[in-house]
Amino acid sequence: MEKWNLMAVVVLLGLTVRWTVSLNSYSGAGKPPMFGDYEAQRHWQEITFNLPVKQCAKFINPDWIALHSSRGYESQAHKLFMRTTVLIADLLIYIPAVILYCCCLKEISTKKKIANVLCILLYPGLILIDYGHFQYNSVSLGFALWGVLGVSCDWDLLGSLAFCLAINYKQMELYHSLPFFCFLLGKCFKKGLKGEGFVLLIKLSCTVVASFILCWLPFFTEREQTMQVLRRLFPVDRGLFEDKVANIWCSVSIFLKIKDILPRHIQIIISFCFTFLSLLPACIKLTLKPSPRGFRFTLVSCALSFFLFSFQVHEKSILLVSLPVCLVLSEIPFMSTWFLLVSTFSMLPLLLKDELLIPSVVTTMAFFIACATSFSIFEKTSEEELQLKSFSISVRKYLPCFTFLPRIIQYLFLTSVFTMVLLTLITVTLEPPQKLPDLFSVLVCFLSCLNFLFFLVYFNIIIMWDSKNGRNPKKTN
Amino acid sequence: MAAVGIATGGGNWFSALALGVTLLKCLLIPTYHSTDFEVHRNWLAITHSLPVSQWYYEATSEWTLDYPPFFAWFEYALSHVAKYFDQEMLNVHNLNYSSSRTLLFQRFSVIFTDVLFVYAIHECCKCIDGKKAGKELTEKPKFILSVLLLWNFGLLIVDHIHFQYNGFLFGLMLLSVARLFQKRHMEGAFLFAVLLHFKHIYLYVAPAYGIYLLRSYCFTANKPDGSVRWNSFSFVRLISLGLIVFLVSALSLGPFLALNQLPQVLSRLFPFKRGLCHAYWAPNFWALYNALDKVLSIIGLKLKLLDPNKIPKASMTSGLVQQFQHTVLPSVTPLATLICTLMAILPSVFCLWFKPQGPRGFLRCLILCALSSFLFGWHVHEKAILLAVLPMSLLSVGKAGDASIFLILSTTGHYSLFPLLFTAPELPIKILLMLLFTIYSISSLKTLFRKEKPLFNWMETFYLFGLGPLEVFCEFVFPFTSWKLKYPFIPLLLTSVYCAVGITYAWFKLYVSVLTDPSVSKTKKQ
């Protein structure tokens, strides 16, 4: 079958899955007075439309955004409108980026590229949050992906512009900012700081500053306004973590109530230190040896470090880690699929609250089948396939019998999947004990956190032991 | 790990396809469902709470039992599972009851019974002798056929959105066809007899079965030139076939014969009080006939050839299911449609008798019977087009000519199902799924037959592309024009007439290819 027809079929499949998920309930449906993210987005539309910057919007029903009187507005037509906006944003920004990215992948056949698109488009986490819970993550993730594309293909200015747009759309994208910074800095160093590199550095700084100024111009009118924006964007007053999230602080606080023991500013300092210590090695390596491949892996490990150790992390922030993992799906299919399954599972309490059980189960199974058939992931569990060859060789210098790594990893995978399925069944069918009403969510978060720690170690190993860039020409990318 | 790998890896593409479409069906659970949902809930209630003697008399709800007894027993069996989901749905007086558990149960029952359909497709894939293709998996005829049947757009939206139980019924039909291909004639006949007593609409294709079994099974040998050898008639075979049909019918209608309820059952099964056309005109010959009548009456009024007082007030396009009369052209009676249908079927049946070409010839005759009945039948539902589209898929991977006919038939037939889903949230689903199926089917069949002449000529291509603007006009432009209030039926009329052209054309082309085929095929498939 011709390439573009197959690609069209794959994209249509992705869109169909997205729209059918959107037929379900959204966050906060019918739950006054707080409602949920859906009401939040509607409210923001209300604010931005009515207050200063007025735009012409012929097709919007004024009742949906009437100032004040439209609080908590819920109707079928409005739901259709909101869902359609998500689909259009997705179609315009995220999906083209995914297609272009997969088409630019090197050393794999056309069929595999299209299969890659299918798997990325079927990633359950993004679909369930954007089309179920209701958010617009595909915009920021799409822009970030355009940024990755630009920077990997040596269109540095366009790439950084796209990434600046991503940050200014959603400040969570700052999780990805360090790898971008280190990669571009590394490129400048490589080109030589006395000549071309310096010129590139100047051009990049100007691009970044200009795009920030453009986005923030309407809010620069007063210093107080700028401070208020910053305060809203970075709510340090809200504490180390909120609700149940699969990161270190929440897991540690099961045993040790950090929130109560340590004062606020100490918490901030500790979280800052841990985050930066865990991502420093990868970033330094990226600055010294910039390569698109290293860039991708560093994106993963940086975002994961931020997710695990940072301040005020929401469970939805795992999507910021999932996007880079989707990008390395073709290189390490087995581990990536495993990670993406865990990332969806880690959001289980949130999805159950939004009554998205059936879509979650169905999309997860669809994703798993797509990956399993496209990449034959279960046959790709040797050392070489897991990119752990150089690491194993180094370890074998001290421990000659260290040959069991792939088998350990396989057992870990089976255990992980088994516990995930078991915990899902338990959460859905049983009631938690009276004394511990949050037991199941805490277990989900704790289990996911353990998995994520394992992945943090794994991805850092790949980055640090990735010495094949120079020697083996096949692996350069 | 390797075992898991083989199970989920490339070796078992059929399971992956089947599982994939099942997951898609699960995602369609919260979509709009039509009154057919209430119909089946009512039948669950009737069969569960009332004794057998009351089944065909019960009329609390307007949706009375009008399928043959086997389907009633099927609903009875389902009701025993239903009681674990929601006991309230089994109360006959709970009209329009649709709690979330009821919805879940009904949707899952359709998805679950589709397993028979999947099995039938698996059997069909074993029998088709598609064009020899390359080693690439996605270019093998078996793969393409599986996708065309498993992911059939029409079946997906009729069964899993609109809500019906066609999946397992088509499974029975395709299984009986597969058995006939595999020369297991008795099983094929048995399966078809059972099918008839599940849903009597399959009577449309009964002539094909009857003539084929008589000609190619009861007469055990042919003369060298292909004509019938009278002395090879086997009474045993005829008797055994008759016995099978008789026993199945006895099992089905026996209880009602004993209760003296046969006339009531038959009146429920064949309600001729309904009009020539359904509320929405199926894209058949009578749609063209009605449209022509309307056009002529308008012209007649304008040219003052007709007296406005003599025109019946009720318009055929107001969407009510009653009996109407035509203004200019002669009115059509049920008998007239029967005669037209029989005349349309006759050539293909004669072909099956005088120029038997084995199972393949039987399949063509079956499709022609289904299409002819669709085109000329009384009160035909647009969903009946599936009766022709699904078996046609089996032929489409064999010859380029058949592929071309299949594509025209399926694309127009599927498009004609659009008015079934008229709600806004389902609009993107039907467009996306239609595009998915159409792009896949056209692209894969074109690739399969790329070495032969192109599948479509310019006229056909133009016609198929015309469906796009038609859809845009009907769904996006028309609702905002001033005609919406005055002539609300225009989109339905346009859709129906446009598709009727395509379907009639496909029917005609198939007939031509059947009648002009070489009479004796010396292939191994005899």
In B, minimum Cα distance to A409 occurs at: B1
Across the interface, whether the CB atoms of A359 and B424 are under 8 A apart is answered no
What is the residue-averaged pLDDT of chain A?
84
Structure letter (DSSP) for residue B311: S
Contact A362, A124 (CB under 8 A): no
Taking residue B6's Cβ as centre, other Cβ atoms within 10 Å add up to 14
Query: Any idea which of A115-129, A274-288, A383-397, B335-349 has the lowest mean pLDDT?
Result: A383-397
From the CA atom positions of chain A, what is the Rg in Å? 23
How far apart, in whole angstroms, are the C-alpha atoms of residue B414 and residue B418?
7
ipTM, two decimals: 0.88
Q: Which of B:379-398 have CB within 8 Å of A?
A: none
Interface contact flag, B432 A19, Cβ < 8 Å: yes
DSSP assignment letter at B276: S
pLDDT at B279: 61
pLDDT tens column, B199-257: 999 998 999 999 999 888 888 877 777 677 777 888 899 999 999 999 999 999 998 88
Q: What is the 3-state secondary structure (H, E, C) of A21-86?
A: HHCCCCCCCCCCCCCCHHHHHHHHHHHHHHCCCCCCCCCCCHHHHCCCCCCCCCCHHHHHHHHHHH
Give the per-residue pLDDT at B521. Answer: 46
> Would you say residue B485 has pLDDT above 90?
no
Return d(Cα A257, Cα B179) in angstroms, integer: 69
Separation between Cα atoms, residue B514 and residue B508, nearest integer Å: 10
Give the mean pLDDT of B382-404: 93
The more confident residue out of B323 and B324 is B324
In this prediction, residue A407 carries a pLDDT of: 86
Q: What is the DSSP string of B463-512?
A: HHHTHHHHHIIIIIIGGGSTHHHH-TTHHHHHHHHHHHHHHHHHHHHHHH
- Average pLDDT estimate for A146-164: 90
Whether residue A57 has pLDDT greater than 80: no
Cross-chain residue pair A9–B29, CB shorter than 8 Å = no
CB B467, CB B415: distance < 8 Å: yes
pLDDT at B272: 64
Integer Cα distance of B360 and B382 in angstroms:
26
Judged against a pLDDT cut of 70, whether residue B314 lies above it is answered with: no
Q: Answer whether A376 sits within 8 Å of B9, measured CB to CB.
A: yes
- Among A13, A358, A377, the residue with its CB nearest the CB of B29 is A358
Going by pLDDT thresholds of 50, 70 and 90, the confidence category of residue A51 is low
pLDDT tens digits, one per residue of A88-119: 999 999 999 999 999 998 888 888 999 999 99
Ranges B103-112, B211-220, B456-465: which has the least confidence? B211-220
Interface A-B: count of C-beta contacts within 8 A: 93
Instruction: Name residues 341-370 of chain A within 8 A of B (Cβ).
Output: 358-359, 362-363, 365-366, 369
Q: What is the pLDDT of residues A245-288, one digit of tens each?
A: 888 888 888 887 777 777 878 888 888 888 889 889 999 999 99
Among the residue ranges A38-42, A300-304, A389-393, A446-450, the one predicted with the least confidence is: A38-42
Residue A473 binned pLDDT confidence (cut-offs 50, 70, 90): very low
Q: Which positions in chain B touch A80 (Cβ < 8 Å)? A: 424-425
pLDDT on residue B321: 41
Contacts of A20 in chain B (CB under 8 A): 24, 27-28, 30-31, 429
Residues 6+ apart with CB under 8 A from B182: B123, B126, B127
DSSP B151: T
- The tokens for A261 are 């023991």
Q: What pLDDT is attached to residue B404? A: 95
DSSP characters for A397-428? HH-TT---HHHHHHHHHHHHHHHHHHHHHHHH
- How far separated are the first and last CA of chain B, in Å rounded? 46
Say if B26 is an interface residue toward chain A (CB within 8 Å).
yes
CB spacing of B435 vs A358 below 8 angstroms: no
Res. B522 pLDDT band, cuts 50 70 90: very low
Taking the C-alpha atoms of residue A231 and residue A237, their distance in angstroms, rounded to an integer, is 9
Closest listed residue to residue A25, CA positions, set A428, A356, A453, A410: A356
Size of chain A in residues: 477
Measured between CB atoms, does B11 come within 8 Å of chain A? no
The CA–CA distances, whole Å, from B31 to A14, A45, B163, B427 equal: 18, 28, 10, 11
Cis peptide bond N-terminal to A33, omega within 30: yes
Nearest Cα residue in chain A from B448: A1
Contact A1 B31 (CB under 8 A): no
Q: Which residues contact A176 (CB under 8 A, 6 or more apart)?
A: A144, A147, A163, A166, A299, A302, A303, A320, A324
**Contact of B28 with B21, CB cutoff 8 Å:** no
Contact A16, A90 (CB under 8 A): no
Residue A241 tokens read as 């973590």
Contact B27 A21 (CB under 8 A): yes
Cα–Cα nearest to B124, from B192, B186, B178: B178
At B413, phi and psi to the nearest 5? -60, -45
pLDDT for residue B322: 44
Provide, rounded to the nearest whole percent, the portion of chain A with pLDDT above 90: 36
A53 CB near a chain B CB, below 8 Å?
Answer: no
Cβ distance B70 to B197 under 8 Å? yes
For residue A70, pLDDT over 70 is answered with no
| Cα of A22 to nearest chain B Cα, Å | 9
| Strand (E) or helix (H) holding A140 | helix A137-152
Q: Confirm or reject contact between A410 and chain B (CB < 8 A).
A: yes
By the 10 Å C-beta count (0-12 exposed, 13-18 middle, 19+ buried), A432 is classed as: middle
Most confident of A13-22, A102-111, B89-98: A13-22
The confidence band for B523, taking pLDDT boundaries of 50, 70 and 90, is very low
pLDDT exceeds cutoff 90 at B486: no
Nearest CA in chain B to A13: B436
User: How many angstroms separate the CA of residue B441 from the nearest CA in chain A?
Assistant: 10
Q: For the ranges A218-232, B149-163, B234-248, B277-291, which has the lowest average pLDDT?
A: A218-232
List the structure tokens of A404.
């069991």
pLDDT at B31 over 80: yes
- Averaged confidence pLDDT in chain B: 86
Amino acid (1-letter code) at residue A315: E
Closest-CA residue in chain A for B138?
A1
Distance CA A83, CA B162 (A): 22
Which pLDDT band holds residue A437 (cuts at 50, 70, 90)?
Answer: confident
Q: Is A16 on the interface with B (CB under 8 A)?
A: yes
pLDDT computed for residue B13 by the predictor: 87
- Angle of helix B69-82 versus helix B35-49 axis, rounded to 10: 90
Q: Which are the contacts of A182, defined by CB distance < 8 A and separation ≥ 6?
A: A283, A284, A286, A287, A290, A298
Cβ–Cβ below 8 Å for B1 and A5: no
B162: distance to nearest CA of chain A, Å? 15
- The confidence score (pLDDT) of residue A215 equals 80
Nearest to B432 among A15, A23, A369 (CB): A15
CA angle A31, A34, A40 (to 5 degrees): 105
- Residues of B whose CB is below 8 A from A24: 30
Spatial distance between the Cα atoms of A440 and A335, rounded to a whole number of angstroms: 26
Enter the tokens of residue B507. 């029917």
